[in-house]
A and B are shown apart, each in its own frame.
Chain A
Amino acid sequence: MGKVRVKIDGKEIEVEEGKTILEAAKALGIEIPTLCYHEKLLPYGACRMCLVEAGPGAPKPACATYVTDGMEVKTSTPEVEEIRKTVLQLLFGERNHYCMYCESSGDCELQKLGYKYGLDHFEFPPYEEKYPLDISHPYILFDQNRCVLCRRCARACAELGGHFVLEVKNRGYQSLIAADLNSQFAQSSCVSCGLCVQVCPTGALVDKRAAYLGRKEQAEVIKTVCDRCPVGCGLEVYRRANFILKVYGDWDSPVNQGVLCKNGRYLPLYEERPRLNFPKLKESGAWTRVSPDMAFKVISEKKGSASVYLEGSLPWELLKAFKEAFEDRTFALNPVSPPIPPSAVLKDLEEADTYIVVGVDLNERYGVVGSMIKRRVIPQNARLIAVEAGSLSGITDFSYEYKDLDTALGEARKGNRIVVVYSGLPEGISERLRVESSFKFLFLPFEANTMALKELGIEHRAPVEKVKIFVGENLSFTRSPGDFIVVFTPYETGELREKADLLIPIPGYLEDEGTFVTLEGRRVHRQKVITPAEGVLTVEEVSSRLEKI
């Protein structure tokens, strides 16, 4: 790539060919106003705020114009400033931009531009046409009246999420952002990844739960790592007064670069199960509150005959404490070992030209891995082959059942860099995949900290003993007569009240710190973001009590 010399506002700079005026100006420290431009998205040139003088002819959008050798750019002449003010007036005048009671007032990029350019009245009177309001989606509110048609949502849904749900329908002033071209959000193929809300500059797409609960400057933004699956995406958690307002993706995280899925962004915040707030013991059929000392005394008395069954969703420190207390009577509730030894890392997804996803629905689980694959299929001409991959099978022409595995493998072999994406596999399937020597295998461990279970030598086994200790968030088990069952969990469900004898509360989502091992073997430390109720035992407390029993 060659270099070009360009002069911006009198200052000269040499940049690589293929850079835009906006990028060259940024390198010189010159600011140009933008609205539809987003660092992580391809430039679109929709809003026209970044118009600059760049030689003869009409002013050019700086974000979407490549620099040419010898180009002379002026970013701020009187004419350009007038144009910017008019563009802003047109943007405000097109739809209904009430600031007074808008959820985004104070955090709105359109409003910020209005303030910056001293916009103190409307040249073009609005409020004559009412645009649709879509509140069907469970987590996201879509108010078309606030939309500036920057299309960041549609671009992010396609370029980053790979979902291709949002697009623009109609033309001219009748343009509307639409899900699946004409559906209500809730009935569309939206997977609730939330990227649209994260990139929307105005109050058009808004997080329902966080609405009207505070501006960004009133909240604390805490960077941490998600613990819902072993990918380990970077999060920015907005917290205000010990309450999680919303969860955004961390644009700076090298793992996910701002992309999330509904499992990390929305589902845990909509948890409906009642919380367990203090230890409880069932005596003669009735539940009574007991102290932590009493609870652990009961466990201590049964220690010799008890076996522990751990979910792989728990932090490393807690898993280790149980292993050290119960030694070879410590087991995992879910499968630990990969059916095929892994040979790929997440980065291999960026260079593959063929993906074969077997037995796992990447729209429901490991959503960010799904995004990494889906966003390359259309734009980069990669092929997606789905073998019993749930809803993923519906978006590709190459969709097969296990009985047609040979055909699927035949299709896959046509590629050059082939990656198999899998989690658990049924009998007989893993052997047939394993022999493909030209394929790379990306294993998605069953749970967020399955890799830690492996490191600690804890293996999967179905519960058989009479005295059992279960530890986890989503526990479901059978009770046989004569059993004594202890459960460490954040939630007190009807099933647990019926089947357990002793319940001990542990922290829930983002309520305690801990170490997790991601699918690539990286250790990540998760921060404590909010404090649970007083009676809930921390990981540290449980670990130190287990040492003493």
Chain B
Amino acid sequence: MKRVTLASDWLESCSGCHMSLLDMDERLVELVQMGLVITATPITDLKVPAPGTDIGVLEGAVSTDHHEEVVRLFRERCKILVALGDCAVFGGIHTMRNYIPIEELLKRGYVTTESTVGGKIPQGPGIGKHLKKCMALNEVVKVDFYIPGCPPPADAIYQVLKDILEGKTPELKEELLKYD
């Protein structure tokens, strides 16, 4: 049986799309029995996709330089790249910050919110720096397939992965295509 490796990660996101992926329940086992091998994902807690990974799935928008690095790594190491959820596909809710200067944004988030006492904006090499604009995946790299939704229905994620495993081009429509 052919092995098809899948790696995933989440960027500027809420992880809801990964929850929806897990919401496939037993159908995940079905996909594994069809040949899917799940490697580096936030759920398996392995951090980096191996070179030559077949399917890369990314949830979340690209908002910091760290995110951009992950996206480029995934594009380089995965043959097929799938954007999972409205944030990865369209940019999503986080793009609201595009209308606010970054200094103001960080100050509001870490210092001036009503319940914060003695707040400080985090600094350091481990903290990503905000890019000028919070973007969808396809504004940074070429994306092969998209699964919109907030989160996408588990049925849609299942359909797309199954189609890829069967060598078909996934096409979402009707009940499976949702923007909210």
Q: Report A's interface with B, CB cutoff 8 A.
A: 96, 98-102, 105-106, 111, 114-115, 118, 120-122, 125-128, 130
Contacts and interface: CB of A to CB of B under 8 A. Distances in A.
B136 A99 contact: no
A128 B179 contact: no
Chain B: number of interface residues, binned into ranges = 20 to 34
Nearest to A118: B173
Nearest to B100: A130
B180 A125 contact: no
Contact of B172 (A98, A99, A120, A126): A120
Contact of A121 (B93, B95, B138): B138
B10 interface: no
A106 B143 CA distance: 27
Interface stretch (B36-44, B83-91, B112-120): B83-91
Given A98-B95, A105-B179, A127-B134, 9 more contacts: A118-B172, A118-B177, A121-B138, A121-B146, A122-B91, A125-B91, A125-B136, A126-B91, A128-B133
Contact of B95 (A106, A118, A120, A127): A127
Contacts of A115: 173-174, 177, 179
A99 B180 contact: yes
B68 to A, nearest CB: 15
A-B complex: 8 closest residue pairs judged by Cβ atoms: A99-B179, A127-B95, A130-B99, A120-B146, A105-B180, A100-B150, A121-B146, A99-B180
Contacts of A99: 86, 150, 179-180
Given A120-B146, A121-B136, A100 B177 contact: no
B25 interface: no
Contacts of B98: 127-128
Given A100-B150, A127-B91, A127-B98, A121 B180 contact: no
B177 A122 contact: no
Given A118-B172, A125-B136, A128-B98, A106 B180 contact: yes
B148 to A, nearest CB: 6
Main secondary structure of the interface of A (DSSP, over half): loop
Contact of A125 (B92, B135, B150, B179): B135
Contacts of B172: 118, 120
Interface string B89-107: 1111101001100000000
B141 to A, nearest CB: 13
B166 interface: no
B30 interface: no
B171 interface: yes
Given A127-B95, A130-B99, A122 B180 contact: no
Contacts of A118: 171-173, 177
Contacts of A105: 179-180
B171 A121 contact: no
A89 to B, nearest CB: 12
A111 B177 CA distance: 11
Q: Which of B90, B98, B139, B174 has the most CB of A within 10 A?
A: B90
A121 B144 CA distance: 11
Interface string B120-148: 00000000000001111011000100111
Contacts of A126: 91
A125 B173 CA distance: 22
Contact of A114 (B134, B174, B179): B179
B20 to A, nearest CB: 14
Contacts of B179: 99-100, 105, 111, 114-115
